[in-house]
Homo-oligomer: A and B are copies of this chain.
Amino acid sequence: MAKTAVKNKVRRKDRILDTAEALFARMGFVGVSMRMVAEGAQVDLALASYHFGNKRGLFDAVLARRSDIINEKRLEALRDCISSAGAAGPELEAIVDAFIQPLLGVGLEKDAGWRHYMELIALVNSSHELGGQAMTQFFDPLVNEFIQALKKALPGAAEEDIYWSHHFFSGALTLTLAQTGRLDNLSSGKVKSNDLEAAYRRMVPFVTAGFKALCKPEKG
């Protein structure tokens, strides 16, 4: 019975991570207690501390669990669009697409885990205290790769304009990932903020046009 035993071992740890992921995404770090996690995962209160050291360790473990996977997907998408482009480099639109398609893609999976993770990323990205370390650690390396690609696709543009454009892009993406449902209210139900397919289809042209309008070649 070694196999099922191992299974059960892992199940508890993963159940804690799944529960914590969903709770942290909805209520933030301080809004979630270890007791909520334990109850949701149906394990003893002390078990999460045993496995992850403390509450912050649990939070970091939740972030880390999927960051490698999604970052690899996004990096692969970027490399694909670079390698399939000519010597002049990929088009701006292809870069923008590679940046968001993997993210919104995993959100369409049946498993709610990735959706919770996206909401969590959105929450962390617009947080002062959590965002500083976590985003830098888990996502900045990837973002820098994209910035490099953007610089090539926007020759002659001022560096500041590219960074600001990316910032606006990041904000639009973040609010979409958050899926707060406010868009539903505002549109009286005509638009569903959890329709990631619709969001993806529209964000690419919107952002691409924004980049092109702002990041024009400098005069000189």
Contact = CB atoms under 8 A, between A and B. Distances in A.
A183 B163 contact: yes
A130 to B, nearest CB: 10
Interface stretch (A1-9, A35-43, A208-216): A208-216
Q: Would you list the 10 A-B pairs with minimal beta carbon distance, nearest first?
A: A171-B175, A209-B213, A168-B172, A206-B210, A171-B172, A171-B171, A209-B209, A30-B31, A163-B191, A210-B210
Contacts of A190: 159-160, 163
B167 A175 contact: yes
B168 A128 contact: no
A175 B165 contact: no
A203 interface: yes
Nearest to A206: B210
Stoichiometry, copies per complex: 2
A88 interface: no
Contact of A176 (B123, B171, B186): B171
A157 to B, nearest CB: 12
Contact of A206 (B30, B126, B165, B205): B165
Contacts of A30: 27-28, 30-31
B129 A26 contact: yes
Given A159-B187, A164-B191, A207-B210, 8 more contacts: A132-B185, A140-B185, A140-B186, A164-B202, A167-B183, A167-B199, A171-B173, A208-B213
A181 B147 contact: no
Contact of A199 (B31, B159, B164, B209): B164
A183 B163 CA distance: 7
Given A26-B128, A129-B27, A182-B132, A206 B171 contact: no
A49 interface: no
B210 A174 contact: no
B131 A180 contact: yes
A199 B167 CA distance: 10
5 contacts: A26-B129, A160-B198, A161-B202, A163-B191, A171-B176
A147 B209 contact: no
